[in-house]
Amino acid sequence: MKIKLIHIALFLSGSVAFIACNTTKKLAEGEKLYLGRKIKLEQTDKVNFKQEILNSLAEVNRPKPNEKIGGMRIGLWANQKVQDSSAKFLAKWINKKIGEKEVLLEDVNINSVEKLINNRLENLGYYNNKINHRVIENKNTALIQYDVKVANRLIISDVKYERIGKNEFDSLVTLFLREEKPIKANSPFSLQKLKNTRDEVSYYLRSNGYYYFTADNLIFEADTLNTSLPHHANLKLSVKKSVSELALIPYKIDDIKIYPNYSLNSNDSSQLNDTTSIEGIEFIQSHNFFRADRMHPYLFMKEGENYNPLNERWTNKRLNQLKTYRFINIRYQEDSLIENGIGKLDASIYLSPLSKRSFRSELQAVSKSNNFVGPSLNFEYLNRNLFKGGEALRLSSKVGYEAQINRGNISTGLNSIETGVAAELIVPRLISLFPLKDRFIYSVPSTKFKLSYDLLNRSQWFNLNSFLAVYGFEWSPNLYITHNLNPISINYIDVGNESSAFLNLLSANPFLARSFEQQFIPGLTYNFQLNQLIDNKRSSRFYFAFGADFSGNTLALIQNLGGVKGDNKRFWGQSYAQFSRFDFDLRHYQNIGEKSRLVSRIFTGLGLPYGNSVSLPYAKQYFAGGPNSVRAFPIRSLGPGNYQPSNTTDGTSFFDQAGDIKIEANIEYRFPLISYLKGAVFTDAGNVWLRNDDNRNGQISSNWINEMAIGSGLGLRLDIEFFVIRLDVAAQIRKPTPTGFEWQDSFQLGNKSWRQENINWNFGIGYPF
């Protein structure tokens, strides 16, 4: 069935390709399809800015030629089919989504394009350019080549500021130009650089109290006559004569009023029932909705200080991070009193809260990385302002059914029922013995308290009761970095109702039995994340995550000091785990063109069991294979090392294939197909190993590089921005065999048994990385 689907997909794509390649046959006699423009540069001086010129001219392509998808003008094909009334369902659907009319040579206004090219060059300081063109025609198509003879580039010799006679104002501008040097002497001219400099000078003045000053109040003038060198100019920055006198006056913040419970539907007079003053700032609300002493630390605006847009921005950002308010509006009103050339501003901050309480229920279709799928019903209660200081209390419960699917079949005995309850309190400040609040300027740090209980009923195997208690902090020093530190993380897992099959499995594998025995995991966790993916302007972006997990060290130290020796220490009668675990996850996202992307990833996980533990607890171990790992191999089927179970269909592989060390590398090329449908070509490599050997001989050695499994495949993604459904198919390129890892020597796609053994299908929600 699967191979038939592949044949059908190839037939359909081939049919579309054949039809789409014949779009020029629909043109009228004499018409030529416009293929776009080509620019050839002829530079007259030794200019080292060729790439800058080409980047500036990249978008000078009007009109844009018909878009190609996979080398085919599918949108044009669909439009032509609709126009001649021969369209079927596929063509009508494609036309509705991405259809477009033909772009012809006659649609190009060559004179307008040449003017636009010259304008872009002048913006970079190239004047008196010579631009010619020639049309390159084929039978049914044409493109235009523009031959551009670039003039010598204008160089900035010097930058000076023309003083206006206001000492403080003139001193600030002069200081900024001297210290920051936004335009350096002997640098190439750039109009965009001049605009940026105006913005920077304006922002600097506003940061020093000049509330009404804008970049439009400044003007640059270039003098090319009074210079000793050719193609050079002196720049003069001056304030426009028409500028308002108010823009040249610094302003200080006078009165600050906060309305913590402001409603857009009520009059201001209704807000005046309760007023609290802290350091001159008035908190006005009809009732004590948000405590003034809790809100005051989030304010960067202070009375008597110069107006500063940065303080305004930080205040707005920090109040938003409380997640208590829907709207935050900061308004200023000029005070009529001006003393000694200084104006005064009254600031009012209006805060419109979200609903304090909310209840949500969800019915979900869950797909996990370990191939478990099934429905889940979740309930959540949220209180956004529990103690009138922005504290968020979240109470949740869940119930779900899951079954594990391997190679399209439901694994016998691995269906389960999962229930759980959790309580989480997020406090928007640090609750700590150490005074750390001054170090968190960029964002509001939070303290988390969490208690949870989960019951997992794994059919025909065991019941698992899991208790978790966490106390920790989260903070972000800037836009890209997030820290998460949990000084206290206590996880207790009780395994009960074991079946005879499960007990036999543990009896046959003492190493596995040991990992299930130590289910008391007290420790400390820390996670660091650098995420540049939120910056869509970058063509090259990185994501890096580091995680550290320590367990049992404090208890072991206390017991050692108390004279308790040995490697089987217990706490309250329970054997506890001792280990250190470190995760490194590095990803690179490189845009290729406008819509394609090359993504690479390297993951390394290192677990170091010691003391009480000979291996990591089962819940902390690493697994390889599956939809988010090496996709050519079934979930949890790889490793450790070269180990291969004798039977992978009886469910035992669900427990056996785990390790203390994991190394994995992935590379994936993602490209658009049609509308929301995207494609991918990928290669994965990886495996897991043991720190200490057991009866599987999976201990890591210096030869680990030769024990990396490799798989390659193709994928389809239905990407509607906030939701991604993914289907991947991959073939094993290098795999473990009884004699070691071997390269695939043949690809027998027509052989059913070969396909079942070497090709793996993966269904997932979201991208794999």
pLDDT at residue 616 in the model: 86
Comparison of pLDDT for 359 and 695, the residue scoring more: 359
Which pLDDT tens digit goes with each residue over 345-371? Answer: 999 999 999 999 999 998 876 655 555
- Cα separation values, 219 from 174, 194, 203, 224, 520, Å: 15, 9, 15, 17, 70
Question: What separation in angstroms does the CA of 744 have from each of 687, 733, 741, 754, 758?
Answer: 17, 5, 10, 11, 9
Q: Identify which has the larger pLDDT, 304 or 514.
A: 304
Judge whether residue 663 has pLDDT over 80.
yes
| pTM of the entire predicted model | 0.76
Last residue of a domain, one of 248, 264, 297: 248
Q: What percent of the chain has pLDDT over 90?
A: 45
Question: Same domain for 629 and 537?
Answer: yes
Residue 150 lies in a domain: no
Q: 513, 487 in Cβ contact below 8 A?
A: no
The CATH number linked to 162 is 3.10.20
Chosen domain end from 248, 282, 309: 248
CATH number of the domain residue 511 falls in: 2.40.160.50
Low-confidence winner among 592-601, 627-636, 688-697 (lowest mean pLDDT): 688-697
Tokens of 752: 């059913």
Lowest mean pLDDT among 20-34, 279-293, 371-385, 620-634: 20-34
Of 323, 353, 383, the domain-final residue: 353
CATH number of the structural domain spanning residue 304 = 3.10.20.310
65, 107 contact by CB (below 8 A): no
pLDDT bucket at 514, cuts 50 / 70 / 90: low
Q: How many CA atoms lie within 13 A of 38 on its CB side?
A: 10
Is 323 within a domain?
yes
The C-alpha atoms of residue 657 and residue 689 are separated, in whole angstroms, by 9
Q: What does the pLDDT read at residue 266?
A: 58
Claim to verify: residue 559 and residue 663 sit in the same structural domain: yes
637 shares its domain with 711: yes
Q: What band does 405 get if pLDDT is binned at 50, 70 and 90?
A: low
Per-residue confidence at 579, pLDDT binned at 50, 70, 90?
very high
Range with the largest mean pLDDT of 92-96, 391-395, 413-417, 757-761: 391-395
- For the ranges 60-64, 247-251, 256-260, the lowest mean pLDDT is seen at 60-64
680 and 605 co-located in one domain: yes
Average of per-residue pLDDT values in the chain: 85
Instruction: Calculate mean pLDDT across residues 500-515.
Output: 73
Q: What is the pLDDT of residues 201-255, one digit of tens each?
A: 999 999 999 999 999 999 999 998 888 888 999 999 999 999 999 999 999 999 9
Which of 63-77, 131-145, 708-722 is predicted least confidently? 63-77
385-399, 555-569, 605-619, 664-678: least confident range: 555-569
pLDDT of 299 > 80? The answer is yes
**What's the pLDDT score for residue 20?**
45
Dist. CA 724–CA 322, nearest whole Å: 30
* In a shared domain, residues 282 and 306: yes
Phi and psi dihedrals of 104, rounded to 5?
-105, 160
pLDDT exceeds 80 at position 117: yes
Interval 648-667 mean pLDDT: 72
pLDDT band at 47 (very low <50, low <70, confident <90, very high): low
- Does the pLDDT at position 411 exceed 60? no
Three-state SS for 707?
Answer: helix
Distance, in Å, from the CA atom of 462 to the CA atom of 497, rounded to the nearest integer, reads 5
First-to-last CA distance in the chain?
29
Strands 481-496 and 520-531, how do they pair?
A: antiparallel
- Residue with the bigger pLDDT between 166 and 619: it is 166
Range of the domain at 527: 499-765
Band (654; pLDDT cuts 50, 70, 90): very low
Report the number of distinct structural domains present in the chain.
3
Residue 438 has pLDDT above 80, yes or no: no
Residue 15 has pLDDT above 60, yes or no: no
State yes or no: pLDDT of 436 exceeds 80.
no
